[in-house]
């Protein structure tokens, strides 16, 4: 670099060695790096003034095979070399950017997922600005582990989202406080950050998401022998208010369905009719199959089995495969779309202008149809509606979990919202069965066998038997209302099973009976 060549450094300071003493593998690596830079549209001046010299410094300090190169310690050594040369701050910033570029090249060399070339370099650099090199390296490794479960079609957006959420709190901390190591971070700093975000009118959910990402990074660092204060890991999130309804009512679904059907009937040109059939098929897969938007975009023809009314989702969220079943109506609308799908170089089921669907097309078209139908809707709301309608028609929650592709049952419970009328129906149905079973015991015929003291021992024995059954119930597992019913049954059965203290008084014929005045019976 021109700025580096004119700078001075202390006497006897260790300097990088020239390529003549490097291993041959490292010389070949630098040549591949030059090709990679040009392939990624780096400028000629930047390549020869910044990127190549900086990579040469890294390799010049490491005279062993590049596979043993530590991306953290080696890069820190080069930054220390820059500072020792007393170069200006601007050149140090350029050197840091050059190291970041060489780090990405090395990650690809070692088999990590390659970012699409359409991604602009500064999309990640702006999230790394202000962070120490050691943290950038650790976050990069954290990302590389996490991205093993990300869909390839969404890899570019997923990487950017990762850095956006996982670096925001860190960047604020290093900008506001003098932090040299993780132990310097105090709980009060995090509280100040939360106040700062809330003052910017950020939602509670967004703040909690950033806090969870920060704590996730702390746990990752802890696993790599960094000393992490436990007080930071125990920080609770903010209490969020009850969310608004996330599913559509039956009336809203009917209006939305009618709108998609109407568009198919009224469109008169081939292109518009093809789009209408595409929109309707996507709507049915979202509503009646519960697919995610990204899963619809990635569907291939070989994954569709219309004769058996099923669809195979390959590498869904978390890289999980699952089978989705289709209704007869869904099969019909998909078949009608396939008849006008057209040709393409790809086997994706859904095409727009002979290319796979873009990430915003489905969302925009669902929302546009909702506006025409007077229904505020998103594709993910249709997925919520799918789960909610199933659970309220009696489908087992574990079946819904499998259909939705959820790893945890608790996640399915967030989607499947039980209506109040469903709770009431389930309660009355269950209690009717309880009462019917107990009524069967009470009405069981008993042989008449008078006791010596005039008490019916058969009824006494029957009541004692029922009492033992009721007592054996695990009352604590029942709802509160059913617990009350069981306690009432126990009291009544105890009274029936208890023998009288004395023989009953002989009834006198035509004896005048007395009734309590306070309950309104006639005297």
Residue 96 backbone phi and psi in degrees, to 5: -65, -40
Q: Specify burial of residue 321 (Cβ count, 10 A radius: 0-12, 13-18, 19+).
A: exposed
Residue 428, domain member (yes or no): no
- Same-domain check for residues 165 and 70: no
DSSP class of residue 291 equals -
**Residue ending a domain, choose from 362, 395, 417:** 417
- Same-domain check for residues 27 and 165: no
CA-CA distances (angstroms) from residue 322 to 137, 295, 348, 379?
35, 11, 18, 20
Say yes or no to pLDDT of 205 above 90.
Answer: no
Q: Specify burial of residue 286 (Cβ count, 10 A radius: 0-12, 13-18, 19+).
A: buried
Q: What is the pLDDT of residues 462-515, one digit of tens each?
A: 666 666 666 665 555 555 656 656 666 666 666 666 555 554 444 444 444 444
- Same-domain check for residues 134 and 48: no
DSSP class of residue 50 equals I
Residue 91, domain member (yes or no): yes
Residue 468, domain member (yes or no): no
Residue 95 in contact with residue 88, Cβ under 8 Å? Answer: no
Neighbours of 42 (CB within 10 A): 17
CB neighbour list of residue 190: distance below 8 Å, 6 or more residues apart: 169, 211, 214, 232, 235
Q: Specify burial of residue 407 (Cβ count, 10 A radius: 0-12, 13-18, 19+).
A: exposed
CA-closest candidate to residue 100, choices 148, 35, 54: 54
pTM of the entire structure? 0.56
Range of lowest pLDDT (80-94, 182-196, 212-226, 331-345) = 80-94
- Same-domain check for residues 135 and 256: no
How many whole angstroms separate alpha carbon 359 and alpha carbon 157?
Answer: 10
- Same-domain check for residues 294 and 207: no
Residue 402, domain member (yes or no): yes
Q: What is the pLDDT of residues 423-436, one digit of tens each?
A: 677 777 777 877 77
85: which 2 tokens? Answer: 């040369």
- Same-domain check for residues 142 and 83: no
**Residue ending a domain, choose from 398, 417, 436:** 417
| pLDDT for the residue 495 | 63
Q: What is the pLDDT of residues 13-33, one digit of tens each?
A: 888 899 999 999 999 999 889
Residue 212, domain member (yes or no): yes
How many whole angstroms separate alpha carbon 412 and alpha carbon 402?
Answer: 9
How many whole angstroms separate alpha carbon 404 and alpha carbon 390?
Answer: 11
- Same-domain check for residues 353 and 383: yes
- Same-domain check for residues 313 and 413: yes
- At 175, the pLDDT band (50, 70, 90 cuts) reads very high
244: which 2 tokens? Answer: 């608004």
Residue 292 in contact with residue 383, Cβ under 8 Å? Answer: yes
CA-closest candidate to residue 101, choices 81, 78, 84: 78
Residue 473 in contact with residue 434, Cβ under 8 Å? Answer: no
- Same-domain check for residues 173 and 213: yes
In order, the DSSP letters of 106-162 are HHHHTTPPPPPTTS-THHHHHHHTTS-HHHHHHHHHHHHHHGGGS-GGGHHHHHHHH
Could you tell me the residue range of the domain that residue 23 belongs to? 19-110
Active site members: 292, 317, 380, 383, 406, 415
CB neighbour list of residue 177: distance below 8 Å, 6 or more residues apart: 184, 185, 189
How many whole angstroms separate alpha carbon 285 and alpha carbon 385?
Answer: 12
Q: What is the pLDDT of residues 338-381, one digit of tens each?
A: 999 988 888 899 998 888 888 789 999 999 999 999 999 999 99
Q: Which residues pair with 324 in a beta bridge?
A: 311
CA-closest candidate to residue 270, choices 341, 196, 347, 326: 341
Q: What is the pLDDT of residues 118-152, one digit of tens each?
A: 444 457 888 888 899 899 989 998 998 888 878 77
Which CATH number characterizes residue 264's domain? Answer: 1.10.443.10
Residues constituting the chain: 523
Structure-derived torsion over alpha carbons of residues 335, 337, 343, 344, reported in degrees to the nearest 10:
-100
Residue 450, domain member (yes or no): no
Quick one: average pLDDT of 308-322?
84
Residue 373, domain member (yes or no): yes
Neighbours of 459 (CB within 10 A): 15
- Same-domain check for residues 205 and 329: no
Structural Rg of the chain based on CA atoms: 36
CA-closest candidate to residue 319, choices 158, 148, 153: 148
- Same-domain check for residues 318 and 381: yes
Q: How many domains does the chain have?
A: 3
- Same-domain check for residues 270 and 403: yes
Range of lowest pLDDT (26-40, 69-83, 177-191, 444-458) = 444-458
Residue 459, domain member (yes or no): no
């Amino acid at each position: 670099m021109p700025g580096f060549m004119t700078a001075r450094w202390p006497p006897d300071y260790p300097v990088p060695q020239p390529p003549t003493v490097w291993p041959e593998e490292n010389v070949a690596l630098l040549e591949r790096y030059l090709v990679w830079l040009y392939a990624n549209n780096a400028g000629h001046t930047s390549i020869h003034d910044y990127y190549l010299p900086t990579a040469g410094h890294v390799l010049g300090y490491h005279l062993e095979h590049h596979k043993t190169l530590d991306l953290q310690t080696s890069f820190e050594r080069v930054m220390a070399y820059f500072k020792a040369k007393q170069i200006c701050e601007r050149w140090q910033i350029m050197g840091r950017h050059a190291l970041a570029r060489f780090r990405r090249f090395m990650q690809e060399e070692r088999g990590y997922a390659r970012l699409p070339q359409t991604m602009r370099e500064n999309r990640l650099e702006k999230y790394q600005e202000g962070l120490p090199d050691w943290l950038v390296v650790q976050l990069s490794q954290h990302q590389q582990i996490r991205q093993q479960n990300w869909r390839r079609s969404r890899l570019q957006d997923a990487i950017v989202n990762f850095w956006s959420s996982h670096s925001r709190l860190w960047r604020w901390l290093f900008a506001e406080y003098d932090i040299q190591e993780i132990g310097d971070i105090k709980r009060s700093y995090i509280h100040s950050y939360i106040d700062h975000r809330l003052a910017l009118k950020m939602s509670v959910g967004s703040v909690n998401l950033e806090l969870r990402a920060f704590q996730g990074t702390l746990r990752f660092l802890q696993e790599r022998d960094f000393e992490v204060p436990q007080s930071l890991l125990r920080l609770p999130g903010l209490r969020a208010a009850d969310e608004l309804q996330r599913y559509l009512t039956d009336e809203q679904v009917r209006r939305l369905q009618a709108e998609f059907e109407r568009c198919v009937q009224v469109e008169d040109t081939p292109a518009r009719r093809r789009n209408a059939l595409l929109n309707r098929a996507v709507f049915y897969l979202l509503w009646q199959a519960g697919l995610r938007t990204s899963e619809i975009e990635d569907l291939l023809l070989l994954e569709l089995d219309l004769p058996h009314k099923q669809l195979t989702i390959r590498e869904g969220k978390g890289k999980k495969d699952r089978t989705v079943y289709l209704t007869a109506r869904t099969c019909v609308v998909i078949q009608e779309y396939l008849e006008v799908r057209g040709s393409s170089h790809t086997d994706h089921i859904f095409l727009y202008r002979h290319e796979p669907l873009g990430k915003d097309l489905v969302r925009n078209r669902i929302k546009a149809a909702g506006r025409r139908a007077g229904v505020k809707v998103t594709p993910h709301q249709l997925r919520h509606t799918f789960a909610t309608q199933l659970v309220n028609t009696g489908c087992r929650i574990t079946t819904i979990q499998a259909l939705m592709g959820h790893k945890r049952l608790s996640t399915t419970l967030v989607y499947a919202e039980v209506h109040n009328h469903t709770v009431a129906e389930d309660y009355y149905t269950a209690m009717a069965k309880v009462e019917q079973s107990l009524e069967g015991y009470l009405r069981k015929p008993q042989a008449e066998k008078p006791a010596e003291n005039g008490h019916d021992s058969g009824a006494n024995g029957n009541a004692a038997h029922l009492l033992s059954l009721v007592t054996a119930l695990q009352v604590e597992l029942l709802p509160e209302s059913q617990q009350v019913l069981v306690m009432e049954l126990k009291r009544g059965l105890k009274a029936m099973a208890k023998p009288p203290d004395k023989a009953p008084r002989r009834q006198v014929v035509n004896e005048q009976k007395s009734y309590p005045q306070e309950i309104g019976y006639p005297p």
